[in-house]
Structure 1
């Protein structure tokens, strides 16, 4: 799909930000008959949405703060995702060990899980169960037994490819009539007589300015919400986002086959070690952050913290900074909270902030998380309809399947696809995991043109047809969009550098790029990877990031 040329138009709703929340708002609003445009200066889900822990939380952590509303909402939304996106959201067992010296004693955790099971009645994939220390040591022999008091095995959910969740929200929003302009910067708000009447935009590639007139504007820019308002809308500070960093490592001695959710010795923060895409993710930190939102990288201190805590809980792991394949850092879009001493106490819920009467026509979304994106969108759309005087219209997204699950029987589709696909079993399984039923689109292209069946990435077996689908159908503009957020080969050990030239070549031959564009995209992709501090690039440059900004 070529890059959109933005033009002047009248819409009901302009949404700033194409992260999981902005895209979900567009999908919900379009499903209820509103004319919607979404604008993002980068790619779909390229900010906070792609830097999360990739977990669809039932909300267990929020019980500790007695936030029952958020727990119930999280449980409901997890249940709906199991049903509406079964190709992307999977059962995920999680072991919570407790040790002597932990700030949360085992009996308290067990009690919390009993309460959670009660709240999740009818929406839980099996009850949690307590395990004595002996049983834990037998089943997870590499786990430290020093001070081990027991554990609980808890069932939650994971979305291994949060990036694809965003892509599918985009596909569905567009199918419902929404327009999504990526790589397009919002340069200001249109104001008329004390009312916000839309947005000013500029195409990042052509530099072409335009205006989008809108009856309502929603600022869903995540950690950047205050920047959108700055200089135009007088407002107290709304975003108080904290920095969360993760590191990705290869399997290590004693690496577990389930997620381990434990308390760090250094600061009593709950952290995870979990299997993901054949590797392991360690995370995350939770630091106050006042630095540049566009230059968020994991610091040496954060990486050391995650490695030290993992080595403590898995004494045989022996992980060193040299084992880190890459790191991922992002800013949680949390509400600004004055004088908080423990960032874990900041609410993870969301609010819809109206700027009326001084700036009627403008709403800002504060907070939100991957799990509850749909509920947030329903709340925002309800409020937009109310303010537009359109009256209530039934929300359709509770029962609407994602495009990759648009089939009467997902398990039957998957079984048939595996049986009939001419690709290897591993390639076919990966296509299903990434594209769901849309894997058929990829396969049809590859069958029609054998050149598109060529493997472009050895580690995953990804094929050339995926590049074409990314550009023609999934809104990818840059090589980073293709590799990191469509095909996902950029999230492997070499961050897609081993596939970049081949994929750029496919785009030249099949997606309208020329040789100059391909060269520029390869350079741009390498530059984009620097924020991950990838091991493969470490030798060639001083990594960005320092501890200066985090406190």
Structure 2
């Protein structure tokens, strides 16, 4: 084990390793309870699994088939809690499920949808219904032989921005957030940890922490073995999920959920106005966690499955962009008794070790239940640290989510369209479509971004189509953005609209910004 120097650069109560959704959520909850918190992430926030989701806040309809009633109920409860806390980046979405011969019987689907509607209190979203597809706008892009279907509701989320907003709230409540900072060594004592962190420029920091949280997602077992030199109490099965993006396949606001004969589910979702997002796959993964990419077979699978439902033929050549992520699912079967990836639980497991200084490991989880995971993590950890502050995040807005006040409410969701209109009126000197994008990305923080600016000239240089220096400066100052990829693919999805465009001007601006004190 590496010997750490005795001098200390920082002392905290909780050090969180991992800047994905679970790590950011735990850091936020802990900071809000008055604990001294440091979060370190070896890359950018949400640079892996947490920005590679299907972008859904949902109960997980298909998990009912595996009798995961507790998980589905918890996720359904969280669905509306999260909508109220961040109505700018989370919004209702209506799904259409076409029903074809050979699939689960219609009565079984109706029963599942009834359960889905009633497992948890529902205030914002309409219930499920049966449809005659030939009489519904969502039936027009589908094959003519698909006559009936079902509709139900869930939520859509800008996943990478959800992570950033949690990290922002953590920092505003006193936490330190260090991106591009790797934990390279750790020593555990009876009442504290000594940890060595290394930043991208090679500078090293020594941190003394009263507790440690391993929230590294797919890397959780690797961190345990290589940094803490401990064995994992849980077995993680790494499952790769890949998505493709094609040009818009339909001109209505509904999404689709398609059933495949192999038991898997694939979604087709309206995405970034001009595109359709299709995914996901579920494949065991054994490769590098730092270089995850879709395969040709996965592209063909998604194209073929979507082609079984849409009248429009979808070919691999139609794919304009793709992404893949690895989900760390908790393996609870005996060795040699492998379940299908689709059947593995998406629930999480928290393991708190108090034999010496507290050590909390986070295994598994899904983006919808991150807030509940963080709350449960602090209910375990805070008492050990002598803190008895109550849970608080269920009644708190995320940054920018205070559309009608600081307390989350149904009004903030229902009145978000009016908020957009108000912003378009207030900032009438900007193109309405740009103001709408700002409102969705930043919520009430649009007023921090635009400040006292009064004309398009005040936005500074246009560094890429639709991207002005004022926005980039905001992202660098407030949201830890450092690279072109941070800005175009995680803080926004502008990269999808700028495919083939030259981004050298943006890259040069960022280099200059880093050099400027």
Compute the TM-score of the two structures, normalised by the length of structure 2. Answer: 0.90
Give how far 1:462 is off. Answer: 2.6
Q: Which moved more, 1:168-177 or 1:62-71?
A: 62-71
Instruction: Identify the residue that residue 331 of structure 1 maps to in structure 2.
Output: 326
Instruction: Identify the residue that residue 295 of structure 2 maps to in structure 1.
Output: 299
1:271-286 residue pairs with structure 2 within 5 A?
A: 271-278=266-273, 279-286=275-282
1:476-495 residue pairs with structure 2 within 5 A?
A: 476-492=481-497, 494=499
Structure 1 unaligned segments of length 5 or more: list them.
Answer: 1-5, 515-551
Distance in 2 of aligned mates of 1:55 and 1:139: 19
1:10-409 residue pairs with structure 2 within 5 A?
A: 10-102=11-103, 104-132=104-132, 134-135=134-135, 139-146=138-145, 148=146, 150-159=148-157, 161-192=158-189, 197-205=193-201, 207-231=202-226, 232-236=229-233, 238-252=235-249, 257-265=253-261, 267-278=262-273, 279-315=275-311, 317-338=312-333, 339-357=337-355, 360-390=357-387, 392-408=388-404
The DSSP-based 3-state class of the residue aligned with 2:66 is coil
Instruction: Identify the residue that residue 419 of structure 1 maps to in structure 2.
Output: 425
Distance in 2 of aligned mates of 1:48 and 1:76: 23
Distance in 1 of aligned mates of 2:108 and 2:209: 51
- Measured against aligned partners, the alpha-carbon deviations of 1:48-68 in whole angstroms (never above 9, x if no partner) come to 010000001033222222222
Aligned residues: 493
Distance in 1 of aligned mates of 2:91 and 2:468: 25
Give how far 1:131 is off. Answer: 1.6
Give how far 1:326 is off. Answer: 1.3
Question: Is the alpha carbon distance of 1:7 and 1:504 closer, same or farther for their aligned partners in structure 2, counting shifts above 3 Å?
Answer: farther
Instruction: Identify the residue that residue 3 of structure 2 maps to in structure 1.
Output: none
Cα RMSD after superposing both structures: 2.3
Give how far 1:31 is off. Answer: 0.4
Q: Is the 8 A contact 1:37 1:179 kept in 2?
A: yes
Distance in 2 of aligned mates of 1:259 and 1:431: 23
Give how far 1:149 is off. Answer: 6.0
Give how far 1:446 is off. Answer: 4.9
Question: Is the alpha carbon distance of 1:468 and 1:7 closer, same or farther for their aligned partners in structure 2, counting shifts above 3 Å?
Answer: farther
Q: Which moved more, 1:468-477 or 1:40-49?
A: 468-477
The DSSP-based 3-state class of the residue aligned with 1:371 is helix
The DSSP-based 3-state class of the residue aligned with 2:395 is coil
Q: Which moved more, 1:232-241 or 1:107-116?
A: 232-241
- Measured against aligned partners, the alpha-carbon deviations of 1:175-194 in whole angstroms (never above 9, x if no partner) come to 0000011101111222236x
1:447-526 residue pairs with structure 2 within 5 A?
A: 447=454, 450=457, 452-458=459-465, 461-492=466-497, 494=499, 498=501, 500-507=503-510, 511-513=513-515
Distance in 2 of aligned mates of 1:396 and 1:274: 33
- Measured against aligned partners, the alpha-carbon deviations of 1:101-156 in whole angstroms (never above 9, x if no partner) come to 12x222111111111222234435111101245545x751221244x462111011
Structure 2 unaligned segments of length 5 or more: list them.
Answer: 1-6, 406-411
Question: Is the alpha carbon distance of 1:272 and 1:380 closer, same or farther for their aligned partners in structure 2, counting shifts above 3 Å?
Answer: same
Distance in 1 of aligned mates of 2:138 and 2:272: 22
Question: Is the alpha carbon distance of 1:283 and 1:405 closer, same or farther for their aligned partners in structure 2, counting shifts above 3 Å?
Answer: same
Q: Is the 8 A contact 1:470 1:487 kept in 2?
A: no
Distance in 2 of aligned mates of 1:45 and 1:393: 28
